[in-house]
Structure 1
């Protein structure tokens, strides 16, 4: 393969004048130039080539993106995968039933034959990356509108993807960095036959629930295990009984020696999104308009799910996954509001932009950069109330199964009703399967309450310009949508599988077009998507100015950030095991770890968040920790590092200086919830599951030693 080259100009722009070892989400291809010396000083014992190589097996070959939204790692020569419990949650819930509730009770396959295949689950291996900035940027010019620019770039991206996918063998993704000032392409290989190997019971895997989420001290076994299968030649293949466990190019050794304060720790993973280049106006908009609406809309949906989830295990299973996803970001966004406000992040950014604006309006820079800050601020002023409105509407879409039904099942029925008999015969089974899958994940009484509550909230609080259909219905129903929703559900073809079947048997366009849920859903989505010419112009100017702001901050060296925002591409962050100030809630000797004793002290019998299996209580009382006990005699559960992570890093491996697995990243601390926008070197922490606790749960608590035996254990 050709060597990866980096222009001298780009090197100068990327090399940090003073790298903060605990800050940054770094590209693997630049480690040798930018980070390796720093990492060695802190305790790294690997070469840069041992971490990332395109010609030889390296650490990156063990790191995978899990189902598009999390990270995972290969931990055996036979395709064993470790990730977070909350990353495997959807698959575990799908495989569960009221009779075999793996989510509640846990599951461990005693043999390969007992491993369970979810309907849809994939992992993605990173093959290589390269810089294509010069090529992409050569097809655009400053005179283009943003739409014209996007079209030209997408055409060039399509060529790059085709050139590098080797006839469909690989998935190729070209991604923008530094707000579209640089571009890199990434080559991946996807495997779709991924099976559940094991999961702890929810009382361990989700111990602490929403109360402890984003909090320290934590005491949770947030892990689950899967296995990747391939054909006989190691190639990706659809599920088949003849498939065999994948033999990965590299798997991580597991070190059970434990960690201490200031030990080197690095994390590789797929951080989803940060906004550290976000202007002050964007931060202010989020804090005052967007996030409060997000929080209130999320809570409204959660409250109405919870009313039914507590009634039975069956109803809890239906909504468990959706509730967990909504709850995660509900607490995150509230934490963001609090942290961004407390630390005055918008003010700090505004001061930086004032310095930039002064530089931008010097004669040599004015033509290019002079209007950048003013244009950005004007855009945010125009869209503040719309941001609030849109977030209320988005939470309706996220929490109601019928909020976007017009664009999902409804769209298929629209095509169906307009097709001839032959086409309908082909479409009918897939539509019925789609409807069945949809209804498997909803409970009609709950959906009535969710939709009515969200419409009531949207009507009262969204402001801006409400969807005309909501204004009309509010007048007709005195501002209360309860009766309207009940009547709508009683008459809609979407609210039962039998009604969908009846429509397939006797389809009429008039029936579909007049269906109240179809009409409501489509009008809400259309209203969300519509943009005036004035708004489109402002958005065009904003996007161009934001790109220039980032370019100018880098050129002027006013900006301190030397790495691109996260965007679900593989990154490395390095730092150390690092305690927070003493906390009376933690019984550990140093506030950088927690113990099983501490977990048991939180135990509340029968509580949905803090119950524990009786066996855990008994084993802790007898100190049955086996080879996974720390030298202090306790069993360490979770520990802290000062690595720089965000959503998408869930499930990422925490590695020591030798590249051995010491933990599993799963959360951050709420005090540093501003971390997606600004890194706080004093407060920012990553919360990790100690790998010894993971192995104790598998081997000692669950009796699944067969799974531990296939790992490479190092002391």
Structure 2
């Protein structure tokens, strides 16, 4: 998901008149200078001060980063938070059990006392930001190695963060932009007492499943509701029954008037990562080497998990979140391969770099920029095969909970065995709790299947230079790790709480370091992290060259991008409600929204992806939409805008020109899957849940009108 920033006077000179308003992820502090007039022409009715203000409440005070990976928004004066269902998925699954499966059945608290507290969940409020480019760049020089440069920057960063955290009250983060050519610091305040208020049943919240993911038309209620709590003075506090709902500085009014084609649409959120400055060699490497391995490894994990998840609700709850996350990236990476190949993105980037290289080798530029492109290309040539290997190995390490056991529980047990009796007594309860928590989150037959299948794939396909132990075992077992993994799980210390307890009574370092799962995972992790001297040198040269490439593209004006990549900092993107060409799969009059009738047409009784509650079928037949029906008589479910977003924008508010909530973003369309690398103004769309459908699910379908009543509803 995608839209960005720009910086002070020097950057203003770089803004060409041809830049489309719907491309870019912009810093809020520069809206007045760079975007406000353009936004007003498109329909914005707010001042820049009403969007971002340090001294007064503004829109930014209603936008939070949700648990580090999504976005959410405050929608009531009593701390109610709205985000995506898939963003709250971990917490909802954690709070579910086979006996009370709220992930499957949904949940609506009747009052504050019924709200549910997951073990770990936080929201982050953005306080302010500022430019520290001159200060950071003053501590580095061109003669430094990348490691020396990083060390100097880290030291200065620590000073800046300490100066601005007000004795620990705030979290401060200094972040690089334009590949380390500019730096800004961001001040945040975190609240950790966040409780589940409501969630639709999974049949609505995840309707369409993997099949519809990244597709249009969509028909899903991808939302969930939480509440932020604080101490009596409104300050962050650990969970306590004495905490009270947070009174936010600003909450978003909710507009149920509906949307039309070409209506202004603005999104504020925390886009995670884009790579629009990536060189041609990097794009080529991803398409041909890294992403195919990622896709294949993900599919192996999904197949191994699915076999067990369909057999038991309890097992399904254990792995629901992991499966959903794996499936999301599996489809995303395949879509990236297809889109980047179709558009010839690497080729067009290479053409740009050829122009840059010609400019770079002019007499006046050669000393600084002459070797930039050759250095970058040399690095990618060196690492192409390794990138494929590393992605197969990465999927192996990520798949099973035991894939990295030597670095987690294994490291703790090793340290325990080396400690004296006093330190052991202190450490034992935490280690046992860690082991018990791990066992609650695994189902051993599934873990065995995942690990064996991933080892089989890695040994067969990774090429390059396999981890030594894996290579040895592959030869000894004819490439089939099934028996080895089964035997390892049977004898391993890490797969049994009883064995862990016995170890804590009579610890032995050798028992840990000779454990078959410890030895195997330690070997793989060491291999994954190993860097040859040649690679270290090449990475150093590449880091400097990439930074110079970005600097040179901006200086020469050969580069057409004028904003830095997303990096999980708060950004604003603006555009319009905008349809795609007519699609016979969508029953809507204009292909910029979908309807509840369209959702029912996809209904398949008992299907894991397309089942629906009987009540939805009946209410659709009766056209029981209440005040949330559109003027055309239908209930709109999802809609399209041409905003520039990426991962991390999930849950972001979609706002009209008055700053009122009209929906929440949750996805993009597969035709524009290359959007993290290139922005296609013709095809790229943001898919959002219409706020009227959200309120209908809460109010009419679920009978939780009291939750809607605390919102500020406007037409």
Q: TM-score, normalised by structure 2?
A: 0.99
Contact 1:261 1:592 in 2 (8 A): yes
Distance 1:505 1:709 in 2: 57
Instruction: Report what 1:564 is aligned to.
Output: 564
Unaligned runs of 5+ in 1: none
> Offset at 1:16?
4.1
Distance 2:680 2:356 in 1: 22
Deviations 1:281-322 (A, max 9, x none): 000000000000000000000100000000011111011000
- Mean Cα deviation higher: 333-342 or 503-512: 503-512
Instruction: Report what 2:498 is aligned to.
Output: 498
Instruction: Report what 1:361 is aligned to.
Output: 361
Matches within 5 A, 1:144-293: 144-293=144-293
- The SS at the match of 1:78 is coil
Instruction: Report what 2:75 is aligned to.
Output: 75
RMSD: 0.9
Runs of 4+ in 1 over 2 A off after TM superposition: 5-13, 15-19
Deviations 1:479-536 (A, max 9, x none): 1100000000000000122221121111101101100001111111110000000000
> Offset at 1:12?
2.8
Contact 2:8 2:30 in 1 (8 A): no
> Offset at 1:11?
3.8
- The SS at the match of 2:638 is strand
Closer/same/farther in 2, CA of residues 509 and 185 from structure 1, 3 Å limit: same
Instruction: Report what 2:470 is aligned to.
Output: 470
Instruction: Report what 1:656 is aligned to.
Output: 656
1:683 to 2:690 alignment: no
Distance 2:599 2:473 in 1: 50
Distance 2:315 2:513 in 1: 32
> Offset at 1:428?
1.2
Contact 1:272 1:647 in 2 (8 A): yes
Instruction: Report what 1:529 is aligned to.
Output: 529
Distance 1:422 1:243 in 2: 37
> Offset at 1:478?
1.3
1:61 to 2:61 alignment: yes
Unaligned runs of 5+ in 2: 1-5
- Mean Cα deviation higher: 332-341 or 418-427: 418-427
- The SS at the match of 1:407 is coil
> Offset at 1:6?
6.8
Instruction: Report what 1:604 is aligned to.
Output: 604
Matches within 5 A, 1:532-681: 532-681=532-681
Contact 2:12 2:34 in 1 (8 A): no
Instruction: Report what 2:40 is aligned to.
Output: 40
- The SS at the match of 2:700 is helix
Instruction: Report what 1:8 is aligned to.
Output: 9
Distance 1:9 1:216 in 2: 40
Contact 1:16 1:34 in 2 (8 A): no
Deviations 1:437-474 (A, max 9, x none): 11111100011100000000000000111000001111
Contact 1:369 1:548 in 2 (8 A): yes
Distance 1:23 1:604 in 2: 38
> Offset at 1:436?
1.4
Deviations 1:357-378 (A, max 9, x none): 0100000000000000000001
- The SS at the match of 2:573 is strand
- Mean Cα deviation higher: 389-398 or 493-502: 493-502
Instruction: Report what 1:458 is aligned to.
Output: 458
- The SS at the match of 1:65 is strand
Contact 2:638 2:690 in 1 (8 A): yes
Deviations 1:612-640 (A, max 9, x none): 00000010010000000000000000000
Q: TM-score, normalised by structure 1?
A: 0.99
1:483 to 2:483 alignment: yes
> Offset at 1:433?
1.3
Contact 2:396 2:451 in 1 (8 A): yes
- The SS at the match of 2:252 is coil
Distance 1:606 1:557 in 2: 57
> Offset at 1:417?
1.0
Instruction: Report what 2:387 is aligned to.
Output: 387
